[in-house]
Chain A
């Protein structure tokens, strides 16, 4: 696969995984049935919380793989003078924290793992808030056409 093809594929994967992870993330709250979302053609599955969480995990796994892919790529690209822009840095930190808190939530769901109530509530609200922050940041940056990367001036 040529580098530009890999770039295009990873970008599409990123956008698709983001769409799915946000849709299923909001779907973890009992809102979709209440507000007729599950009545839409092809979205009936979102009424099932267990399917919803599995799809959320799947999309989360894709995002984790892409995050690792982009981190390694960024290390290589640094040598060529490419740097994260200021908004890129903010987005990377927020997204990274959202992914890490998501991982911690997934570990909590394993049998025998018990988080004390304060930690449980903190993790829940951190994960939700970080995800919403990232969504707003990403939309803002797309509207403002702010890039993730900038070329270092020689």
Chain B
């Protein structure tokens, strides 16, 4: 019955209350409050040794961010050209309930990795969501400015501006954003011929963080898998943890640096091979800085006007020289 509180909701409410009280005491929440200033880059550290895969973070994310999820008012329009444009509709109750991959209604999932390393079997649970890159290509290259970065490092996609073209997903090294068709601005423009819904992904509970509160996934975690704080402090903590446990780091250098750092007892190339990968289930490979090559051309853009000025001056000096020669020639 809908009026009854489910066991999961009850546990979740309890965990959120306990988590808030505990984190307030340990200084985690105060770290976010202190660092919630608009210019401090926030970073999260995930200690994979601790994650038991209980999915409390997944369900808390869905509950806390539920009001941001898409609510299509009908089936998506038939997109043109039909054979080229696929719609993505995750709005049915069965699809909304999916929790084993990223979807527009599931911004965080637990990726399971089972395998063997140095003769010992391992089983690790990896909370996966947007990495919130330092120089996020999605926010840099969105043609409409829908994907953008806050000064605290959070990368967000604005649902009122996004056209659902999925460029952000294509250029994301982890293909994180997920599309919901049949919603968004494009429905008011050329619904069948341009755009295709809205892209959704983790926004690191930007609204809660702005109030100095913890992201939901961090707050409810019974094992304190994640912590959040200023990036330089979190990077140091990740290095210390990796050194202390003989662990491995992911996210520090990937894509030129991210605001999500994993520390694992198993190397990430081994983990990556052990993962189930596919749509909505990202890899854990080393990633080069996606924006690096394009940004090398900034030098050319800076030098170009000077080259033009030199070219023009040289041309007029030459012309003046030729005119002078003509004038000097005895007639």
Tell me the A residues contacting B by CB distance below 8 Å: 1, 3, 6, 28-31, 33-36, 49-50, 53-54, 57-58, 60-62, 64-73, 76, 103, 106-112, 114-115, 117, 120-121, 123-125, 128
Q: How far is the CA of A65 from the CA of B311 in the complex (A)?
A: 9
Per CB-CB distance, the 4 closest pairs between chain A and chain B, nearest first, are: A68-B308, A72-B312, A57-B297, A30-B165
Q: From the candidates A3, A61, A117, A121, name the one contacting B297 in the complex (CB within 8 A).
A: A61
Task: Specify which chain A residues have a CB less than 8 angstroms from the CB of B143 in the assembled complex.
Answer: 28-30, 124, 128
Task: Specify which chain B residues have a CB less than 8 angstroms from the CB of A103 in the assembled complex.
Answer: 301
Contact A123 B145 (CB under 8 A): yes
Task: Specify which chain A residues have a CB less than 8 angstroms from the CB of B313 in the assembled complex.
Answer: 72
Query: B119 within 8 Å of A by Cβ?
Result: no
Contact B308 A67 (CB under 8 A): yes
- Count how many pairs of residues, one from A and one from B, have CB atoms less than 8 Å apart in the complex: 132
Query: B17 within 8 Å of A by Cβ?
Result: no
Task: Specify which chain B residues have a CB less than 8 angstroms from the CB of A115 in the assembled complex.
Answer: 148
Contact B291 A30 (CB under 8 A): no
A64 to chain B, nearest CB (A): 4
B195 to chain A, nearest CB (A): 9
Q: How far is the CA of A58 from the CA of B296 in the complex (A)?
A: 11
Apart from A109-B291, A112-B135, what are 6 other A-B pairs with CB-CB below 8 Å? Answer: A28-B141, A36-B81, A70-B312, A72-B313, A121-B144, A125-B145
Contact B149 A114 (CB under 8 A): yes
Contact A50 B295 (CB under 8 A): no
B38 to chain A, nearest CB (A): 10
Q: Mark B294-311, 1 if CB is under 8 A from A, else 0.
A: 110110110111111101
Q: How far is the CA of A61 from the CA of B304 in the complex (A)?
A: 5
Main secondary structure of the interface of B (DSSP, over half): helix
Q: From the candidates A33, A72, A114, name the one contacting B84 in the complex (CB within 8 A).
A: A33
Tell me the B residues contacting A by CB distance below 8 Å: 81, 84-85, 134-135, 137, 140-145, 148-151, 158, 161, 165-167, 170-171, 194, 256, 290-291, 293-295, 297-298, 300-301, 303-309, 311-313, 315-316, 318-319
Q: How far is the CA of A42 from the CA of B140 in the complex (A)?
A: 27
Task: Specify which chain A residues have a CB less than 8 angstroms from the CB of B311 in the assembled complex.
Answer: 65, 69
Task: Specify which chain B residues have a CB less than 8 angstroms from the CB of A72 in the assembled complex.
Answer: 308-309, 312-313, 316
Contacts A29-B165, A30-B165, A117-B148 hold; do A73 and B316 have CB atoms under 8 A apart? yes
Q: How far is the CA of A28 from the CA of B198 in the complex (A)?
A: 18
Q: How far is the CA of A57 from the CA of B296 in the complex (A)?
A: 10
Contact B295 A111 (CB under 8 A): yes
Contacts A34-B84, A49-B167, A124-B145 hold; do A69 and B294 have CB atoms under 8 A apart? no
Task: Specify which chain A residues have a CB less than 8 angstroms from the CB of B142 in the assembled complex.
Answer: 124
Q: How far is the CA of A71 from the CA of B305 in the complex (A)?
A: 10
Q: How far is the CA of A62 from the CA of B304 in the complex (A)?
A: 7
Contact A50 B308 (CB under 8 A): no
Contacts A54-B294, A124-B145 hold; do A3 and B315 have CB atoms under 8 A apart? yes
Task: Specify which chain B residues have a CB less than 8 angstroms from the CB of A29 in the assembled complex.
Answer: 143, 165, 167
